[in-house]
Chains A and B, each alone.
Chain A
């Protein structure tokens, strides 16, 4: 009998193939070595301490769809933290996102959807106001997310690139934090999808910065890279001091920029 390999699930556009890619790596020593390499590339020789009491990372143990993995960055000590990095160690571009929180941010919960390319550790690294780095990690089983072909929304993502929507989750009241979901239509091509006929890759074109403010005051700035899933959806909290406009500026790697303003008014 053919021995069954210990197989993770690899999703193939709706049809599943269980596979254990040759490069999948569940060896802890190798993952630790990878993290050392990645963190030195991103943070140089800065010390990174245990962030358990300050930051959290919510992600599934196994990706249902490696090209759309929901991730939540949790800040447990908002007063101390100025920003959070999301690092997906095994991705071709490991620094998936850096979020810098502004005065009106409620940093307790920030959500993203990412691509995950292989079995890997992910790290949430909080930066404190006094410049310390504190990290937690999460191991995820996923494969192929970065080269997964674009799904059924590709045509819409291309046609409507830069179109935005804002959903407010829960009631709005002056001075009270509220959760919001910002959705941006954009294919977020990462340059890794190949056309076997032309032997060309679709050129990378992805969202690099998202600046969110409220009536001239900063909420947050997101610097991102090829690891965000197509049609990026960013969940964040903010505290509007009064009724007003939430403003969003998005720029992608081709230099295209889009601006939008959303009315945020208390329900009354």
Chain B
């Protein structure tokens, strides 16, 4: 058992009482999945007051000199919980905060990491995406959680257009900017020391994907990720897995079905509102939150594919 894991276990013992009040994040939720690599699995729920939008996976990686946060969380409150989890484990400074893509459940915790002015790392297209969406996200998150708990929009100041390596001191993280897939701002990371691929929202396990980018592009980027020999993979939603690339099979099946059945509906003249209730319906029993996301995924896919 590594020191980090032991400390996580201690935190776990005193977190039980916190569960009774349904706190958004308990310290025990942060688990060391590999040496110096800690993640908290998001809950498979919609954002709510009770969960403080802690619905995506968030975590950090500790090097000899500094720490990188990989997705700071879904709200300022969520980011503060992550910051506390880091402080409980290391005194090394957070030098990098990586925003894996534009969606609010992954990035609104960034405002918790102003101390020491870490680099805020994002896809080269992220500033433009935040310019058009950030304030809208912030306003609606603030309506749900209150402005203080939601936090402000934080804009990246280290942009990745292709690949980039972060040095945490004797530990290198390779970032890769993807073509439009889940969104048009997707970044993934690879930790060379532990062979861990952090796939962020290019990988969903168990929770139905949300689709906001390019369907064919996403399938193509999955092919590229599948070629990576990874000891373990961290999805954006769902459990950490060592079963790679097999763990992407469900996602690939869902996206392929979304693509082929939406195309078929368009070709057959099935109106968009009927397609939304029919396409990928065979997947319903296989995913959490299916009815919350699938109809909208179909609308997005239909609008995209009808112009093919």
Contacts and interface: CB of A to CB of B under 8 A. Distances in A.
B65 interface: no
A144 B306 CA distance: 25
A231 B303 contact: yes
A33 to B, nearest CB: 24
A21 interface: yes
B50 interface: yes
Contact of A149 (B133, B271, B276): B133
A196 B153 CA distance: 9
B103 A15 contact: yes
Interface stretch (A2-10, A45-53, A82-90): A2-10
A11 to B, nearest CB: 6
Given A12-B103, A196-B131, A153 B307 contact: yes
Contacts of A152: 180, 183-184, 212-214, 300, 304
27 contacts: A11-B296, A14-B296, A14-B300, A15-B47, A15-B106, A16-B210, A16-B292, A16-B293, A17-B141, A19-B140, A20-B144, A21-B140, A64-B296, A68-B299, A72-B273, A148-B136, A151-B300, A152-B214, A152-B304, A153-B303, A179-B269, A183-B306, A196-B131, A196-B134, A196-B138, A196-B153, A235-B271
B46 interface: yes
Contacts of B140: 10, 12, 17, 19, 21, 143-144
Contacts of B307: 153, 156, 165, 183, 185, 231
A233 B307 CA distance: 11
A11 B105 CA distance: 12
B299 A65 contact: yes
Interface residues of B, number: 52
Given A9-B292, A68-B299, A151-B300, A18 B180 contact: no
B190 interface: no
A14 B183 contact: yes
B96 interface: no
Nearest to B142: A19
B67 interface: no
Nearest to A150: B132
B168 to A, nearest CB: 28
A131 to B, nearest CB: 32
Interface of B: 21-22, 46-50, 53, 102-106, 130-138, 140-141, 143-144, 153, 155, 180, 182-184, 210-214, 269, 271-273, 276, 292-293, 295-296, 299-300, 303-304, 306-307
Nearest to B153: A196
A169 to B, nearest CB: 4
Given A14-B210, A144-B136, A5 B49 contact: yes
Given A14-B182, A16-B47, A152-B300, 11 more contacts: A12-B103, A12-B136, A70-B271, A70-B272, A147-B136, A149-B133, A153-B304, A170-B269, A183-B307, A196-B153, A197-B155
Contacts of A144: 136, 140
Contacts of B48: 4, 7, 18
B271 A12 contact: no
Interface residues of A, number: 56
Q: Is the interface of A mostly helix, strand, loop or mixed?
A: loop
Q: Which of A12, A111, A167 has the most CB of B within 10 A?
A: A12
Contacts of B105: 15
A194 interface: yes
Interface in A51-94: 58, 60, 64-65, 68, 70, 72
A169 B299 contact: no
A267 interface: no
Contact of A12 (B137, B272, B303): B137
B273 A70 contact: yes
A70 B296 CA distance: 12
A10 B137 CA distance: 10
Would you list the 6 A-B pairs with minimal beta carbon distance, nearest first? A14-B212, A169-B269, A70-B273, A149-B133, A14-B210, A196-B135
A169 B271 CA distance: 10
Contacts of B134: 196
Contacts of B306: 183, 233
A193 interface: yes
Nearest to A63: B296
Contacts of B141: 12, 17
Contacts of B136: 12, 144, 147-149, 193-194
Contacts of A185: 307
A13 interface: yes
B132 A151 contact: no
A1 B21 contact: yes
A128 to B, nearest CB: 27
Contact of B132 (A111, A149, A170): A149
A21 B132 contact: no
Contacts of A16: 46-47, 210, 292-293
Nearest to A19: B144
A14 B276 CA distance: 15
B198 to A, nearest CB: 18
A113 interface: yes
Contact of A17 (B22, B46, B214): B46
Nearest to A180: B269
Contacts of B130: 196
